[in-house]
Amino acid sequence: MPRDMGIPVVVVVVLACGAVAVAIAAAAAFFLVLRALRRSMAREASLRANLVRQNDALRQAERKSLNKTNAFAGASHDIRSALAAISGLVDVSRVEAQTNPQVLHHLDQMDVCTNKLLGELNPS
């Protein structure tokens, strides 16, 4: 090997070693980025699953709330209907109880109570 070729060979060898080092560094960087991307995708999938569970829980809570509201409305209607019927029966019974003051007193008390309950169920 001629003497003047030694320097270019050394330069080529150094450059080749540098290229290998760069390739190794690039591969390491690629795998690190790939690992970070996989972790990010797993985290996103977990967050999406949590969001789906929370949305399901919210819909179920809204359904329960609506069912309770409907149940209370139905119960209120049933109570008001029964109290209105009692109030009507008290009014009808007054005519027949004119001769008995004690029965009239009881009818008055029943009327006050039913009107009070009807007023509390339907506040103005």
Domain positions in the chain: 3-121
Q: In whole angstroms, how far apart are CA 17 and each of 23, 25, 31, 97?
A: 10, 12, 21, 118
- Its pTM stands at 0.52
**Along the 124 residues of the chain, how does pLDDT read in single tens digits?**
455 555 555 555 666 677 777 778 888 888 999 999 999 999 999 999 999 999 999 999 999 999 999 999 999 888 888 888 888 888 888 888 888 888 889 998 998 888 888 886 565 5
Q: In whole angstroms, how far apart are CA 107 and each of 43, 86, 103?
A: 72, 10, 6
| Sole residue written with tokens 């789906």 | 52
Full DSSP string of the chain: --GGGHHHHHHHHHHHHHHHHHHHHHHHHHHHHHHHHHHHHHHHHHHHHHHHHHHHHHHHHHHHHHHHHHHHHHHHHHHHHHHHHHHHHHHHHHHHTTT-HHHHHHHHHHHHHHHHHHHHHS--
